[in-house]
Amino acid sequence: MRYRVAQQHGLSNAHSPFRVVDQSGREVEWVNRYLDQQRVRGVAGSSLCSYAHDLLHFLRWWAAVHKTSAITKQNLSESTFLDYIRFQVNQNPTPAAESVNRRVGTAERAMRCEFPEAEPLFAAGFQTWYWRQSRLGYGRLRPALTQLRVKTPKRVIVPLSVDEVARFWASFRTSRDFAVVGLMLLHGLRSCEVLSLNHEDVQFSDSQIRVQGKGKRVRVLPLARESVELLNHYMRLERPTRCGQALFVYSFGCGYFRTTANYI
């Protein structure tokens, strides 16, 4: 049996647009129940897509081992997630430790959603119990279980040289390019937040910009003087007048399209 992630349109706001289905189009219920729950929580669409693909990977492994996509509490054992980790590290090429941990974490949360009354799975020698205080810092200590994760290597951050920085800035030619980079460097916007901006989000009179972030949460940020000048120059001299609502656009053929990651 083959499984895949399908994006469906026209669903209600309480249903995830990303669905895990089999080759006949039939939904895998326990996976989509978890995705729907995250949708109701207000999780961003990009996160829902990531959860769907993580659970698709776990589902394919589970179906190959158990010959079914259904999961029952009796089928879960203490070695379930440990076996799943072994399966991943034996793949060639071996996925990154961050990918292994993300997939296992998503599968664990889905299992807790599906079986809320089940005891937490414990892999002896890989997990330990400890006493944890409440998040508010008071009350009785409660037993908690460390997560089953593989060790992630430490990242070594190498700063750019002066020549590399000079080549980076020299690669920009227009106010549009400088404005895109300036919003990320000076104001901390994510690339996806920059790409989703519309021209009415820029409020020149107040030197502010309205940004829709993760989970469709909207925040208003003050604009630096340099950013105001770049955006004003771009919108007056470079941005076409009839190109839709998108703030940053590019020309392709006979029309204008919203800027994508390939054009940043």
Question: Is residue 137's pLDDT more than 70?
Answer: yes
Angle at CA of residue 106, ends 40 and 153, nearest 5°: 135
Q: By percentage, how much of the chain surpasses pLDDT 90?
A: 55
Question: Which residue, 123, 138, 172, sits at the end of a domain?
Answer: 123
Q: What does the pLDDT average to over 119-141?
A: 78
Tokens of 144: 């908690």
Question: Is residue 261's pLDDT more than 80?
Answer: no
pLDDT at residue 146, rounded to an integer: 81
| Nearest one of 192, 163, 164, 170 to 180, comparing CA atoms | 192
Question: Is residue 87's pLDDT more than 70?
Answer: yes
**108 and 184 belong to one structural domain:** no
Which range of residues forms the domain containing residue 81? 3-123
DSSP character for 123? -
pLDDT at residue 34, rounded to an integer: 96
Question: Is residue 125's pLDDT more than 70?
Answer: yes
Q: Greatest CA span in the chain, whole angstroms?
A: 67
The two counts, helices (H) then strands (E), for the chain are 8, 9
Least confident of 90-104, 115-129, 142-156: 115-129
Least confident of 10-14, 147-151, 162-166, 228-232: 147-151
Question: Is residue 98's pLDDT more than 90?
Answer: yes
| pLDDT band per the 50, 70, 90 thresholds, residue 63 | very high
pLDDT at residue 264, rounded to an integer: 56
Q: What does the pLDDT average to over 145-157?
A: 86
CB 230 within 8 A of CB 183: no
Does residue 157 fall inside a structural domain? no
Question: Is residue 121's pLDDT more than 80?
Answer: no
Number of domains in the chain: 2
Phi/psi class of residue 139: alpha, beta or left (left: φ > 0; alpha: ψ in -120 to 50)? left
Q: What does the pLDDT average to over 83-111?
A: 94
Does residue 69 fall inside a structural domain? yes
Q: Going along the chain, which residue ranges are E strands? A: 3-7, 18-22, 129-132, 142-145, 202-203, 208-212, 218-222, 249-252, 255-258
**173 and 259 belong to one structural domain:** yes
| H-assigned helices in 97-236 | 97-114, 162-170, 175-187, 191-195, 225-233
pLDDT at residue 120, rounded to an integer: 78
**pLDDT tens for each residue of 32-56:** 999 999 999 988 888 999 999 999 9
Question: Is residue 253's pLDDT more than 70?
Answer: no
CATH number of the domain that residue 23 is part of: 1.10.150
Mean pLDDT, the chain, rounded, equals: 88
CB 109 within 8 A of CB 41: no
CB 197 within 8 A of CB 209: yes
Residue labelled with tokens 């656009």:
249
Tokens of 191: 């690339």
**168 and 106 belong to one structural domain:** no
Tell me the three state secondary structure of residue 180.
Answer: helix
pLDDT at residue 119, rounded to an integer: 78
CATH number of the domain that residue 256 is part of: 1.10.443.10
pLDDT at residue 251, rounded to an integer: 64
